[in-house]
Amino acid sequence: MTDLVRPGDSLQYGVTTMNQARTRAAIRRRRLPPGDLQNLDVLEKSNRAVLIHEAAQHGPVFKVEAYGRFWVCVVGLDVARRFIKSVGESIRPVTMDLEPLVPGGFMRQMTGDFHRKYRQRLGRALSQTDLAGQVGVLEAITRQHLATYAESQMPGAMRTKLSDSLHAMTTDLLLHILFGAEPGTDYHGRLILGYAEMGSDGLAWTIGDPQTRGFSTVAETVRDRCEELASTAQTDFGGLAFQAFGDGGLDDTMLGNLIYMVEMGRDDTTVLFRWLTKYATEQAEYFSNLASCVEDPSFKTRARAFVSETLRTDQSYRLLRITTSNVMFDGYFIPKGSMVRICMWESHRAPEVFDRPFEFDANRFVAESYGASEFTPFGIDQHQCPFAAVSVLMGEAFLRSLADTYVLSPLGESQAVRGPYHWEPAPGFEICLNRRDH
């Protein structure tokens, strides 16, 4: 939904500053993309639409300076898709360096046949995993965490933050989907301990001894579980990892990627659930209609429309790439080491595609379908998120549990803020959960 990256991280392709880019272009008698915006990282915190204004002034491809570096921004899904196809292997996704733990690194940064091999393995494992049969378990997980959060609001109880509750919820959901772990089991408990050591204070970008120990705990626990299921012919749900294991594809690279898909995915999914919760409090009529049709076949359509509109308006933010060599695109020179930002949030506000593009309206996804050239919240190239359907399924389970059980009212701050990686509801945003009378 968005590439998580710390812009200050060192990157193997070097740092290209604005002055370096201008010098390299002048030497080659090439022109850089238009634009002269400075300090995007600062300006964007107060003006979320700043890049929409830049695109209106300069066109869909333009340059900015952010974090002391030269960036090229691309607005518009068709232009972005054409850019990625044009430059081919001369760009790479920007993400964590997992090489110290995972041979070959993170799947989103793999290239060529190596990437295709693991992408296909993951696709097979996903297709063989009976997620539809696990919907009841996923809903039970969401209901339990919501009940715990509601209980923390009782007089005299220790108050739990919504973000903490949702983080624990999304962790449990992903541990079940990927590793077949159900809360309350010893297996689940060992995985939680391993992940706690990997990132006790959130996602750890530097791989140190704690991350190595935690990673080893999770890897050994998952392998032991897969071997146990295979040797005893048990019919217990083993998650995506067991399907990969049975296919002979759970090597160190695949398992390492699955482990970090949980580690990174739970943070991303937590923000998605926070947005869903925020809009559930603001879209009272739509949410009330959801509550009235939880047992009706139309619920799935309406819930998934709500998730899609949330992805469009807030969660699908940007894709980051770095050029590994000098490239030309639409007559513009983009030097090696440039940061390229595919502007998903801005692209999903095209007025020719979405009526009232800055308004939240889930009914637009009920009334019509949008093609990949109009709406693609999980990426636009061969590195797009393979868990798109999983994310929507989790969002649907969350909304069903929320709508079926509770009436919501907002508490605390309601405005959006620029977080470490993307925009998100304010840290002080909380909700009051009151049980619904059926």
What is the C-alpha to C-alpha distance for residues 93 and 171, in angstroms, rounded to an integer? 25
Confidence of residue 4 (pLDDT cuts 50, 70, 90): very low
Predicted local distance difference test score (pLDDT) of residue 199: 83
pLDDT band at 10 (very low <50, low <70, confident <90, very high): very low
pLDDT confidence of residue 11: 47
- Looking at the predicted structure, is the pLDDT value of residue 205 above 90? no
Q: What percent of the chain has pLDDT over 70?
A: 95
pLDDT in tens, 115-140: 899 999 999 999 999 998 999 999 99
SS3 of the chain: helix, strand, coil, percent, to 5: 50, 10, 35
Q: What is the pLDDT of residue 201?
A: 67
CA–CA separation, 227 and 233 (whole Å)? 10
pLDDT, greater one: 20 or 109: 20
Q: Average pLDDT of 270-288?
A: 95
Q: Taking the complete model, does pTM exceed 0.85, yes or no?
A: yes
Residue pair 173/394 in contact (Cβ under 8 Å)? The answer is yes
In this predicted model, which residue has the larger pLDDT, 291 or 420?
291
Cα distance between residue 92 and residue 212, in whole Å: 26
Q: Give the whole-angstrom CA distance, residue 225 versus residue 255.
A: 13
Domains and CATH numbers, the chain: 18-435 (1.10.630.10)
Task: Share the mean pLDDT of the chain.
Answer: 91
Q: Please, how many CA atoms are within 13 Å of residue 53, restricted to the half-sphere of its CB?
A: 9
pLDDT > 90 fraction of the chain, expressed in percent and rounded: 74
- Give per-residue pLDDT as tens, 313-353: 998 889 999 999 999 999 999 999 999 999 999 999 999 99
Q: Are the C-beta atoms of 400 and 139 separated by less than 8 Å? A: yes
Which residues, in sequence order, are CB contacts of 419 under 8 Å at separation 6+? 271
Question: Pick the residue with more confidence: 382 or 215?
Answer: 215
pLDDT at 204 over 80: no
Residue 111 pLDDT exceeds 90: no
DSSP state of 313: I
- Band of the pLDDT at 234, cuts 50, 70, 90? low
pLDDT of residue 354: 96
Provide the b/e sequence for 327-356 (b: ≥16 CB within 10 Å). bebeebbbbbbbbbbbbbbbbbbbeebbee
**156 or 32, greater pLDDT:** 32
Q: How confident is the model at residue 9 (pLDDT cuts 50, 70, 90)?
A: very low
d(CA 383, CA 342): 13
**Section 377-393 average pLDDT:** 86
pLDDT above 60 (res 379): yes
Q: How far apart are CA 356 and CA 354, in angstroms?
A: 6
pLDDT, position 141: 97
Helix (H, G, I), strand (E, B) or coil at 391: helix
